[in-house]
Structure 1
Amino acid sequence: MTIILTLDKISMPKGTEFTPLERGKIIGLRDAGWSFAAIAKHIGRSVAGVSKFWRNKETYGMTKRSGRPRKVCDRSKRRIVLEAKKAGSSSNRVKSALGLQISSRTVRRVLQRTSHMNYVKRNRTPKLTTRHKVARRTWARTMVQLRTDWDRVVFSDEKKFNLDGPDGLQYYWHDLRCEKETYFSRQNGGGSVMVWGGFSSQGKTELAFLEGRQNSFNYQETLTNYLLPFGEAFHAGRYIFQHNNASIHASHSTKDFLKSCDVTVLDWPALSPDLNPIENVWGILAREVYRGGKQYMTPQDLKSAIQGAWENLELSRLRSLVKSMPDRASDVLEVKGKKTNH
């Protein structure tokens, strides 16, 4: 009697243990008279592996696998990730909080291998009190209910640029084959340049370079020379002006000035830079001005770079930021007045 076996050929990674199915096939094919080479070719395994299994088939799989035992079980890994997410702490603090008998380096390695966790620098942001959060929610609710025409709003703010680069540390990808890059740092950033600017869905103002300490009178002079001409040229005088609650903006003198110029001012909640799209514009400018770790020797060089970056701002980008305002208001309501991710 002839026995014909019709078995599908399978392929398994080399080096792994034979599965129960593979073991059964090896035994069946061997009993049918197949050679080790033919069996190995059929199941996609090495001849040595098949031969070794056949010689030790009674005890195969009973030997304890070699190699370093795992330091952290899956449950501990989940606890590490949850603790880091909850506290935003360093690996040392996560280790201490959980009382784990492992090194901080192991904790750090677990977090680094978690795809949705990333070790980043905290951004400095104003602390919001309950009063601030309530005011932000009230503002957002009003903006949504009134269906504010954001295309009429002129957003504005001041911004400081340092000669030595933006505040904080500079990061870059380092090629280990090359000499390390450095950047110099002078006291107080080597000096700085202060600017005022504004924009709307129709365009942007001229950029004002501010000299010396600013007061209400200086600010009103800036608005006279830069805001008012822009409002007339781009909005025929029918626009809504946005600025934050800095002291020179909110002074009685400035309020009277804007009223005398028939400028409608948008109510604005305190400590809310995340709601002002001009903060995004400053971010765009800073990335362009300091691209490649660029630093400046003189204020005039920095001014030229800022002016060039300002002139290169595309209207489509500005309009996209204006269109984000309904979402910003909705997001404030969703997070109950807390900071948003804009």
Structure 2
Amino acid sequence: MGQKKDLTGSEKSKIVRYLAEGCSTLKIAKLLKRDHRTIKRFIQNSQQGRKKRVEKPRRKITAHELRKVKRAAATMPLATSLAIFQSCNITGVPKSTRCAILRDMAKVRKAERRPPLNKTHKLKRQDWAKKYLKTDFSKVLWTDEMRVSLDGPDGWARGWIGKGQRAPVRLRRQQGGGGVLVWAGIIKDELVGPFRVEDGVKLNSQSYCQFLEDTFFKQWYRKKSASFKKNMIFMQDNAPSHASKYSTAWLARKGIKEGNLMTWPPCSPDLNPIENL
């Protein structure tokens, strides 16, 4: 049997009238041809009525408390509005008011992601700066790899889309092949390369050294004078294929020994000038 509809307005009025006349719940159910539980539920809900919402008095913020909130927000920028106000011993302020106060003081921004720096990392950065303080950086060959994609930079798919407009579609390449990996370097005002890494080649220590042999050493380094090679400093980052013992020993056999190989501090920012090209 299908479920009957809710009580109509007319039925509710009749229930009220029958109750005033002294009719019982069962008698009203028979008169309206309804289940007695439906009648009983309606009577109970009517007797309870709606509870009035009690509005809490809004908490006013003093100028002194505002200064405390501003200092707390600067000290703990990633904390929630509740945590910031609690640290100032300010209670009774609704969330909407807390957020409005904080929006007047600061702008919501996403935290920057950076690698954690321990004491050893910081000391190695200082040692690196002291070691190369008097270095003639015009003799440093700055190198790095970069992937060039036909669809633009990897992961970049943002743009200005007006209200009411549909976001454009960015097609995927199921089998890859949408870009190339290149290696290049700069020294003073000279560009070295760029040299393309063959498709399907994964740059581990062995393949990285073989790549340098086939491109950098054969096409550029071999043509330089002995005095140039003696003064040149080869810079590369701390990628596993670059900083491995195999690659370091191989470069030493090619003439780029410890004095001509720039060490790079761990967890360092991208200060390599080739990043801007």
TM-score, length-scaled by structure 1: 0.50
Structure 2 distance, partners of 1:87, 1:187, is 43
Structure 2 distance, partners of 1:246, 1:110, is 46
Cα displacement (A) at 1:265: 0.6
Question: Of 265, 271, 283, which aligns to 2:267?
Answer: 271
In structure 1, what is the equivalent of residue 8 of structure 2? none
Structure 2 distance, partners of 1:214, 1:91, is 44
SS in 2 for 1:155: strand
- 1:93-172, aligned counterparts within 5 Å? 93-98=83-88, 99-114=90-105, 117-144=106-133, 147-160=134-147, 172=159
Q: Is the alpha carbon distance of 1:188 and 1:150 closer, same or farther for their aligned partners in structure 2, counting shifts above 3 Å?
A: farther
Matched-pair identity in %? 27
| Structure number with higher helix proportion | 1
In structure 1, what is the equivalent of residue 36 of structure 2? none
Cα displacement (A) at 1:95: 4.3
Structure 2 distance, partners of 1:122, 1:166, is 22
Contact 1:152 1:201 (C-alpha < 8 Å) held by counterparts: yes
Structure 2 distance, partners of 1:126, 1:213, is 25
Contact 1:208 1:226 (C-alpha < 8 Å) held by counterparts: yes
Cα displacement (A) at 1:123: 3.1
Structure 1 distance, partners of 2:80, 2:175, is 32
Bigger RCO (CA 8 Å, 6+ sep): 1
Q: Is the alpha carbon distance of 1:150 and 1:217 closer, same or farther for their aligned partners in structure 2, counting shifts above 3 Å?
A: same
- 1:176-187, aligned counterparts within 5 Å? 176=163, 178-182=164-168, 184=170
Structure 1 distance, partners of 2:157, 2:64, is 37
Higher mean C-alpha displacement, 214-223 vs 269-278: 269-278
Structure 2 distance, partners of 1:100, 1:274, is 45
In structure 1, what is the equivalent of residue 234 of structure 2? 241
Question: Of 246, 249, 256, which aligns to 1:256?
Answer: 249
Counterpart residue type for residue 240 of structure 1: I
* Structure exhibiting the larger radius of gyration computed from Cα positions: 2
Contact 2:59 2:93 (C-alpha < 8 Å) held by counterparts: no
Per-residue CA deviations over 1:163-200 (Å, capped at 9, x if unaligned) read: 76656686555543x51535548599967643333223
Number of equivalent positions: 208
Q: CA RMSD in A?
A: 3.7
Structure 1, unmatched stretches of 5+, are 1-68, 282-312, 314-342
Cα displacement (A) at 1:219: 0.8
In structure 2, what is the equivalent of residue 74 of structure 1? 63
Q: Is the alpha carbon distance of 1:77 and 1:123 closer, same or farther for their aligned partners in structure 2, counting shifts above 3 Å?
A: same
TM-score, length-scaled by structure 2: 0.59
Structure 2 distance, partners of 1:148, 1:138, is 14
Cα displacement (A) at 1:135: 0.9
Counterpart residue type for residue 216 of structure 1: S
Q: Is the alpha carbon distance of 1:266 and 1:124 closer, same or farther for their aligned partners in structure 2, counting shifts above 3 Å?
A: same
Per-residue CA deviations over 1:48-91 (Å, capped at 9, x if unaligned) read: xxxxxxxxxxxxxxxxxxxxx99544333333333332222154
Cα displacement (A) at 1:154: 1.3
